[in-house]
A and B are shown apart, each in its own frame.
Chain A
């Protein structure tokens, strides 16, 4: 599944273990690793967070700047999610133009957050059709031990929840030195959560370590949020050569409500 292959021996061993419902770290197939969230990773950011999911670590910083609105949304602020797989975070990451995985991650985080309506973009309009706030969400994996997308989304949501709008100086420019007070306008109660299912053989599992992820044959990432009190899926994308059957889809969806409730609780406990 990645450019660096796991050995056939490891893959076959994992396939056999998964089929028996076992994992090297003795978790159940649908268990997440321990989640910790820290804030204020950088005091220069408008909001920032560090998420650890087992050995996986991701930092996200929010910056705000002026932008021009897009022609199809003249009265809304802009959202831009970018990310960089720094060679710092893994021997697998290399210098150079972004590869597919590094392009996909910010796009999936973008869609989970944008489609959920978490950020109240109309409130980020300054002058309709001319000037709006652009919210930059920048994602940096610090240590990649698998499941970066879910970790990145958790970190982005955490960072957004604490983000503040910088103060404007008398000349109309942003004064980054003045302490910001106004929180970023967010929609009440909307907490987007990314959930990635991985497949090896006939087994489906959550929150893989790097090794489990590299052995997997396909992945499907969903974005979920609550809308009008109901759980909704806002995005989904399949990755990899293997296929998901109709039965797989039904099985995964039946797991969703419980898993999302669990992650939502863990996330909110930290906010």
Chain B
């Protein structure tokens, strides 16, 4: 476990920024959700399963999961040129792999499940926030899933492991500098569906980092479940979300 160090926002090493999770934020979508770590805000919409065109892309044995992640142009300090770049393409693909292990794709042959993820405001941890939002949106869309996927970035400043780094912490330069380690896992299994890291970390510390991420994911799971439950009960009580 990480030892106590001073973080500029006063958090403990294993403490998240305030988490906000909300389901049903895009009425047009079959499922949608918003997930925020502090100032990082992601929204996700799920459309489908629906027929996939062009036909030659169809898989007669299962549905295709198609994720698209991108930053909105105004979500970062220097305006991002609209349209996907290589970074966004890469994150889209690893997001697909992060989510696919829990989805029963065989249920819907020849179709596509589209997951659209956009970042409204970026302060590090955008891919993990996006995966958390997408997982809730898939659940709300009623896609058969074996589990929810939870995602968090565990990082490191010098030698100390930290949960949920901010942009400022990602830019830490002293000692061993900053390491950013994005992890995703099905909430109820000890296996990882996303592992992506940049920085400087001793190989012997990597299992510790993944174990810390596992532990941290439990809190995300609770937030996701609470948001999903709330979306159901608020509908039952006749309060329609606009």
Chain A residues in the interface with B (C-beta under 8 A): 71, 100, 103-104, 107, 111, 115, 218, 220, 222, 224, 227, 230-250, 253, 256-257
Contacts and interface: CB of A to CB of B under 8 A. Distances in A.
B194 to A, nearest CB: 6
Contacts of B201: 232-233
B57 to A, nearest CB: 11
Contacts of B181: 236
A243 B94 contact: no
A249 B101 contact: no
A111 B198 contact: yes
Nearest to B196: A237
A234 B101 contact: no
B214 A246 contact: yes
27 contacts: A100-B89, A100-B93, A115-B200, A224-B203, A232-B200, A233-B201, A234-B198, A234-B200, A236-B206, A237-B197, A238-B94, A238-B192, A238-B196, A239-B94, A239-B97, A240-B97, A242-B101, A243-B101, A243-B186, A243-B191, A245-B190, A246-B192, A246-B207, A249-B206, A250-B207, A253-B203, A253-B206
Contact of B94 (A111, A234, A237): A237
B237 interface: no
B90 interface: yes
Given A243-B189, A246-B190, A238 B195 contact: yes
B100 interface: yes
A208 to B, nearest CB: 18
A107 B181 CA distance: 16
Interface of B: 78, 86, 89-90, 93-94, 97, 100-101, 176, 181, 185-186, 189-204, 206-207, 210-211, 214
Given A103-B89, A250-B207, A253-B206, A245 B200 contact: no
Given A115-B198, A234-B199, A107 B86 contact: yes
A42 B195 CA distance: 37
A232 B202 contact: yes
B89 A227 contact: no
Contacts of B207: 246, 249-250, 253
Contacts of A224: 203
B94 A103 contact: no
Nearest to A257: B203
Contacts of B197: 233, 235-237
Nearest to A101: B93
Contacts of A230: 202
Contacts of B193: 238, 243
A227 B200 CA distance: 8
A220 B195 contact: yes
A222 B101 CA distance: 22
Contacts of A250: 207
Nearest to B210: A249
Nearest to A232: B200
B198 A238 contact: no
A165 B186 CA distance: 49
B196 to A, nearest CB: 5
A240 B176 CA distance: 30
Contact of A238 (B78, B194, B206): B194
B176 A243 contact: no
A107 B90 contact: yes
Nearest to A260: B203
